Amino acid sequence: MTTLRPFTCDDLFRFNRVNLDPLTETYGLPFYMQYLARWPEYFQVAESPSGEIMGYIMGKAEGRVAQEEWHGHVTALTVAPEYRRLGLAAQMMSSLEQISENKNCYFVDLFVRVSNMVAVDMYKKLGYSIYRTVLEYYSGDPDEDAYDMRKALSADVKKKSIIPLPHPVRPEDIE
C-alpha cells in the first residue's frame, strides 16, 4: 500500500527512518535541491497510509540524443528496513522507467556496489543487466567497484545500449 508522489522539500524533515540505514547516504542540501529544481518528476517518495516515508527514488535524464545516449539514471533508491520485501523498489523503478519512456530515453542505468548481491539480483529480476564494471567507484576503505547496470527502453529498438563492454572502466572514463 503505497502513495507514490513527487518528493517535496518538507520530506527532507521526515526521511530519517529511511536514511538511518547505513547504506543510504544523507547528502548536503545542495544535492537534493539540485534534483528538486532540475528533475522534480524524477524524485519520487513512497508514503505509507499513516504518512510515514517508506522509501524514495532519485533520478535524472541526461546524455546526448544524437549519440543515442539520452537516458534515465537512477541516482539513489532506498527503502526503510521495515518496508522491505513488499515490492516497493520495483514499483519505484517502474515509475522511473515510465517517466524515462515519456521522455524518449534510450535506456535507464544505475550504479550498484558489486558486494550488494541483494540489490544486483533485484535489478536483474527487473530486467537490468551488467553493462560494465567501474573500478573503485565507491570510495571507502577499501574502495569498491560498481556495476553499471542498464535496461533498454522502447526507443532503443535494437537494444544496442545494453551490449556489455568487454573491459572494466575507470570512474574518470565514464561521462
Partner 1 sequence: MAGRGHVDVSERRLRPIYDALDASNNKKAIQEADKVLRKQKDLICAKALKAIALLRSSRRQEALLLAAEVASQEPIEEATLQALTICYREMERGDLVARIYENAVKKVPQSEEFLSHLFMAYVRLGEYKKQQQTGMALYKVVPKNPYYFWSVMSIVMQALTTEDEKLSQKMFLPLAERMVEKMAKDMKIEAEAEVRLYLMILEKQKKYEEALEVVVGPLGSKLISEIELQSLKQAELYVQLEDWPKANAKYRKLLLTNPDNWLWYIHYFNSLFHLVNSGWTPSEADEGSSTDVITGTVDMAIAFVEERVEDELKNGKRLQRGPFLARMELLKRLTERGNQEAADKIGSPSDLLKEYFGKFGDKPSCFMDMRPYLTMMKLDDHAKFVEELQTYLEIPKKGGELSLPSDVKSMQRHICCVGLARSLGLQEHLTERDELIQDLMRRHQHGLQFGKDLLPTDVQPSDSYLLMTVHIKYAVYLKTQERSLLFEMIVMLEKGVACSPSNAQYKLILIKLYILLGAFQPCKKLYDNMEIKHIQQDTLGHFYSCYAVALGHLTSACSILSAMLKFFSANHKDTTEYIIAAYKYGSFHKIPEIISFRERLNLSHNYSALAVERMLLDFIMETTNPEQMRELLDFMEISPEKDEIKWDLLKDNRDMTVLSSWEPKERELTDQQIEQSFCQDKQWLRLRSLILRSLAAVILMSQPAPLDGEHSLDKQDASKNGESQVGDGNTLLSLILEINAHVQDVECQPSSGNMYLLCGPVPTRMKVYLDGQHHILLTSIFQVAVDVHSLETSDLNQSQELQEQISRNFDCILKTLEYVLDSMDTPIATPGSPPQVYPQVLQGLVLLVETLCLMALVTSQCQVMLKPLKATLTKKKKKKKNPTTIVPQVFNDYKMFVDSLVQFGEKLHKCLMEVNTVITGVDVSTLEIGPVLEHAEKDAISVETVWKKVKDSYQISVGEMSEVLKQKLQFLRTIRL
Task: Give the interface with partner 1 as residue ranges (CB under 8 A).
Answer: 1-6, 8-10, 12-14, 16-17, 19-23, 26-30, 33-34, 36-38, 40-41, 47-50, 52, 54, 81-87, 91, 95, 98-99, 102-103, 115-116
Residue 32: all three cell numbers together: 537534493
Please choose, from the candidates 115, 153, 108, 103, the residue with its C-alpha nearest in 3D space to the C-alpha of residue 131: 108
Closest approach, Cβ 164 to partner 1, in A, equals 26
Pairwise CA distance, residues 63 & 105, whole Å = 9
Cβ-based nearer residue to partner 1, 27 or 111: 27
Cβ-based nearer residue to partner 1, 106 or 131: 106
Closest approach, Cβ 123 to partner 1, in A, equals 17
Residue 126: all three cell numbers together: 527487473
Find the helix or strand (DSSP H, E) in which 134 lies.
strand 129-138
Residue 109 CB contacts under 8 Å (≥ 6 apart), including other chains: 71, 72, 73, 74, 131, 148, 149, 150, 151
Closest approach, Cβ 8 to partner 1, in A, equals 6
Cβ-based nearer residue to partner 1, 20 or 174: 20
Pairwise CA distance, residues 95 & 57, whole Å = 9
Closest approach, Cβ 71 to partner 1, in A, equals 16
Cβ-based nearer residue to partner 1, 5 or 170: 5
C-beta separation of 56 from 75 below 8 A: no
Closest approach, Cβ 141 to partner 1, in A, equals 14
Cβ-based nearer residue to partner 1, 79 or 162: 79
